[in-house]
């Protein structure tokens, strides 16, 4: 049976049962988070022009079916794994390690005081950043897939039923925003983003919403994509990846939709949009917007106009992660634990580094001048770019 037909049948079953169905992780032809690809494209050959190396690596535990993103605070790194472990590293040395829960499904959010993770049962767990001591826990309405976000005004967390809540430093809920969930949506791990006086969140249905930090009220909505098509599957147009903010510009991308950028100084007015579908993610720098599409093609667009600058299509089928920009190069991970480094200027390959052979799902995090990567196989590694 073809994957698209199978997913239609699964979607129909979910609708018939009256529940909210999600696109299965096992169907790689339509779901970028699949764990079992139909075919991996061969690695392109090139002559390396940039030196990269692992400054340090540690074994931290596997991710299972979840997507974990390490948190970086100064020179400290916090990492969570599916077996419930949370660890703190400084300059590659493990400072502490705790068993936070039997199973974790989301993490990590952190600042200099608190480390926060989530469970499939909707538990939000907070620990002291200096020693890992348990501080408090709160209950949410459904599983947590997106890492909590710790900001100056509180801790923002999004549950799987598209509720967004803000907690204070003591774990007291300040407000909750609830949005209707469509019959079929992509199971993703995009996190909320603090910027200015707002919390920006992407939702199923192709919208990115600015919520007031004071009371959670929606201030404005940006239309990234409009659902369209004859079937429930065709009408999936979800903002799954984390939106990005730089200055007054907010950009987001939708699965089966578009990349769109908005002017926050003009009440969220649309600046430009392009038809590119992605659930992996995007990144901004001073000139470019970079995005990985659902086929594994990496694009560089002019951030002011959306015009195409270059694209790299030799990683098709490798289930590429969202991009990260560092030291003049663009880094993406793939399903075989490879980190590919592309020239920021033209998209050509400049370096490649194998981590452990396991998939890299989430965009890498900046750690000083290095990049921090966590694989599903359980390796945490800091990569230096010379």
* Rounded percentage of the chain residues whose pLDDT exceeds 90: 81
Higher pLDDT, 138 or 14: 138
Place 386 in a pLDDT band, splitting at 50, 70 and 90.
confident
Q: Are 371 and 341 in contact (CB under 8 A)?
A: no
pLDDT in tens, 305-320: 999 999 999 999 999 9
Q: What is the pTM of this model?
A: 0.89
pLDDT exceeds 60 at position 340: yes
Least trusted range by pLDDT, from 3-12, 26-35, 279-288: 3-12
* Rounded percentage of the chain residues whose pLDDT exceeds 70: 90
pLDDT value, residue 64: 96
Q: How many residues are there in the chain?
A: 386
pLDDT value, residue 10: 35
pLDDT exceeds 80 at position 38: no
Higher pLDDT, 377 or 189: 377
SS3 283: strand
pLDDT value, residue 274: 96
pLDDT value, residue 174: 98
HSE-up (13 A, CA, CB side) for residue 45: 0
pLDDT value, residue 183: 79
Closest CA to 122 of 146, 140, 108: 140
SS3 241: coil
Place 40 in a pLDDT band, splitting at 50, 70 and 90.
confident
35 burial type by CB count under 10 A (0-12 exposed, 13-18 middle, 19+ buried):
middle
Topology of domain 39-67+279-386, CATH: Methylamine Dehydrogenase; Chain H (2.130.10)
pLDDT in tens, 371-385: 999 999 999 999 999
Contacts of 158 (CB under 8 A, 6+ apart): 144, 146, 164, 165, 190, 191, 192, 201
Most confident of 2-11, 210-219, 231-240: 210-219
pLDDT in tens, 44-91: 899 999 999 999 999 999 999 999 999 999 999 999 999 999 999 999
């Amino acid at each position: 049976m073809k994957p698209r037909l199978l997913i239609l049948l699964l979607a129909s079953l979910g609708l018939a049962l009256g529940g909210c169905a999600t696109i299965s992780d096992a169907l790689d032809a339509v779901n970028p988070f699949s764990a079992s690809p139909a075919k991996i494209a061969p690695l392109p050959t090139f002559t390396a022009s940039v030196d990269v190396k692992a400054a340090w690596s540690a074994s931290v535990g596997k991710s299972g079916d979840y997507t974990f993103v390490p948190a970086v605070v100064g020179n400290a790194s916090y990492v969570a794994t599916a077996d419930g472990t949370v660890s703190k590293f400084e300059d590659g040395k493990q400072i502490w390690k705790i068993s936070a829960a039997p199973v974790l499904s989301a993490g990590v959010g952190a600042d200099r005081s608190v480390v926060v993770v989530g469970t499939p049962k909707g538990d939000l767990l907070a620990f002291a950043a200096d020693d890992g001591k348990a501080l408090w826990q709160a209950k949410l309405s459904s599983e947590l897939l997106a890492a909590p976000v710790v900001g100056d005004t509180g801790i923002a967390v999004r549950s799987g039923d598209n509720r967004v809540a803000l907690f204070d430093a003591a774990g007291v809920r300040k407000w909750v925003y609830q949005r209707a969930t469509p019959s079929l949506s992509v199971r993703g791990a995009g996190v909320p983003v603090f910027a200015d006086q707002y919390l920006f969140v992407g939702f199923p249905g192709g919208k990115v919403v600015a919520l007031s930090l004071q009371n959670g009220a929606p201030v404005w909505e940006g239309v990234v994509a409009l659902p369209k098509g004859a079937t429930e599957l065709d009408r999936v147009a979800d903002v799954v990846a984390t939106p990005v903010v730089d200055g007054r510009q907010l950009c987001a991308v939708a699965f089966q939709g578009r990349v769109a950028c908005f002017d926050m100084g003009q009440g969220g007015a649309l600046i430009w949009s392009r038809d590119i579908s992605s659930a992996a993610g995007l990144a901004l720098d001073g000139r470019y917007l970079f995005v990985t599409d659902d086929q594994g093609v990496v694009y560089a667009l002019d951030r002011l106009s959306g015009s195409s600058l270059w694209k790299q299509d030799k990683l098709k089928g490798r289930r590429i992660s969202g991009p990260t920009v560092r030291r003049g190069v663009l880094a993406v991970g793939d399903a075989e634990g490879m980190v590919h480094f592309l020239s920021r200027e033209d998209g050509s390959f400049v370096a490649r580094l194998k981590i452990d052979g396991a998939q890299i799902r989430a965009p890498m995090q900046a750690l000083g001048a290095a990049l921090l990567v966590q694989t599903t196989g359980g390796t945490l590694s800091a990569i230096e770019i010379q």
